Amino acid sequence: MIVPLHIVSVALAGGLTGLWVRRMLAALGWLSGFESGILLVAAVAAGYIAAQLGFMALICLLKPTRSPAPLLCDMPAQLAALALVPWLLGVSIPWPAAILHKVEPLLFLGAFGAVHAFLKLMVFFAAMQARPSGRAGALGWAGGAAAALLLAAGAQQGFARSSADLGAVAAGDPAWTRSGHTWAKAREIREGIGLSILDGVEGRGDLVLLAAPPEGETGGPDSAFVTVAVEAAPGPSSGNGSVLPVHTHVIPLDRDGWTELRLPEALLPEKIAAVEVAWSSKPNPEWMRRIGLRPPPGTGHRMQLAGPWRAVSGAGAGAPSIVLLAAEGVGAENTSLLGYSRETTPRLREWGNGAMVFEQAYTPAPDAAAACMTLLTGLHPLRHGYLNGRTGELPP
């Protein structure tokens, strides 16, 4: 009879600990949604039970005994979790200092931990003083700990999947928005609040989105961590519809234009029902992402999001197309790109910061037509025929 009562006390302590963790994370803004909260409580409670049963298995291995004394000492250690109940119920405690109100949940947890640790020592001493017996009982405790650990792992995986849900709201109608000198129909998306977009997802091809900071905004982030989840439309290949794995992209936020975000067609379902998009200015730490925690942004930053559109890529069977832009009449030594003191080519310098620049490249001809054709074909001007105003045949 003592063993079932002990299991009940362990389960009670595990449940109270799980409720404490859930409320603590909810107060920090790291938890939202009823389902994820239930799964978190289950994961923490099962993990706590696994640890307690594992402790009893260790006691049975080190100091095996048939005496009920260790269990009788361990039950009060579990019931010490009742110290968390006042905080869970929101009971107001008149603390003598204001700082204690800020750390109130930690005080209750500390009280539980101190009593629990002291009584755990009593469990060990009770086992040492009791009459020894065989170690076969440790198998039962170890089996229970393993089962609880499997339950904790399953609940944690469910919690991680539930937390990966962006919690997107339905997107409104797009409006014409300017970034730099380019206009696009875009929607405003706040940091940490996802949008569910239903239009523009039909057809085939890559999925393309454009992002830019709001016009005139200062002090915003220079880059964004954009998360995109694509929901498959119900059909024979997708069952009743499902959300594919979430894609996270780091994109720069250019205040003079739009930044493209593209998902290849190979990563998309055959038919798309909706696209959910969220973003943040800081990356979610890897350890938090793995266990399913997503800290709130709390910055209030905004971003303009245009699209989505479906863009069909080229066939790709032949050679790639090349566009060559040549600026004639400007010496390389007089460009801002190569360190000239005057701002002669500021746009070229900005573009060149992210490009491959060949400062020591020369062509065997001084005129622009011959030089450009040599760049395109790799042939000498005497071979391609473009030289001194004369034009040869177009390259194949």
- Mean pLDDT, 10 residues at a time, the chain of 396 residues: 88 93 84 80 93 91 84 90 90 84 89 92 85 80 92 88 68 84 86 79 83 81 84 63 66 85 84 84 72 68 87 62 70 79 81 73 79 83 83 72
Gap between the Cα atoms of 170 and 31, Å rounded:
21
Gap between the Cα atoms of 303 and 179, Å rounded:
11
pTM of the model: 0.61
Gap between the Cα atoms of 375 and 324, Å rounded:
9
* Of 79, 78, 77, 89, the residue nearest 19 (C-alpha): 89
pLDDT at residue 240, as a whole number = 47
Q: Provide the 10 A C-beta neighbour count for residue 248.
A: 15
Q: Could you give the domains of the chain?
A: 1-164 (no CATH), 168-311 (2.60.120), 332-384 (no CATH)
Peptide bond into 308 cis (omega under 30): yes
Amino acid residing at 163: S
Angle at 80 between CA 77 and CA 82, to 5 degrees: 150
* Of 345, 277, 347, the residue nearest 305 (C-alpha): 277
Q: Provide the 10 A C-beta neighbour count for residue 232.
A: 20
Tokens of 80: 């010490």
Residue the block writes with tokens 């006691």? 59
Say if residues 197 and 171 touch (Cβ distance below 8 Å). Answer: yes
Say if residues 306 and 189 touch (Cβ distance below 8 Å). Answer: no
* Contact residues for 303 (Cβ-Cβ < 8 A; gap 6+): 188, 189, 190, 191, 211, 212, 213, 214, 224, 253, 279
Residue the block writes with tokens 């706590």? 48
Quick one: DSSP state of residue 190?
E
User: How would you classify the pairing of strands 206-212 and 175-179?
Assistant: unpaired
Gap between the Cα atoms of 299 and 315, Å rounded:
43
Tokens of 375: 């760049």
User: How would you classify the pairing of strands 302-311 and 182-190?
Assistant: antiparallel
* Contact residues for 234 (Cβ-Cβ < 8 A; gap 6+): 240, 241, 273
